[in-house]
Amino acid sequence: MYSLQIFNNLIGTFYIMSYAASSSNNDHGSGYRLKFKKLEFLKLLEIAEPRIIYRVANFYYFNFDGFTMYCDQVNELDMSRFKIIRAIEFSNIQWSKTKNYDD
């Protein structure tokens, strides 16, 4: 009985620690997307301080506060001080191989 109680306490502690670690990281996104105009997006970048920003065509996006934040009005000059990673697709629909994305 005593060992079961210790086990349950350990599991509870692990769950709380895991939740706290994931909650404190603002890089976790969801299927919900928020679109911003240029000035609001640039202000949000200052607040969020994302480690990585992704780019697909003219869309720039990153995860913050549980959402995917994006804008299609900024340009390369606006984003030149951030680390940008190019992606091939921006979608919440499952990807299927229908195009040739090889460079």
Nearest to 69 by CA among 38, 98, 95, 93: 38
pLDDT at 7: 43
pLDDT, position 5: 55
For residues 54 and 23, is the Cβ–Cβ distance under 8 A? Answer: no
Per-10-residue mean pLDDT for the chain, 103 residues long?
50 40 50 92 96 94 93 95 90 62 57
DSSP 84: E
- The pLDDT of residue 77: 95
Query: pTM value?
Result: 0.62
Q: Which fold has domain 26-89?
A: 3.30.720
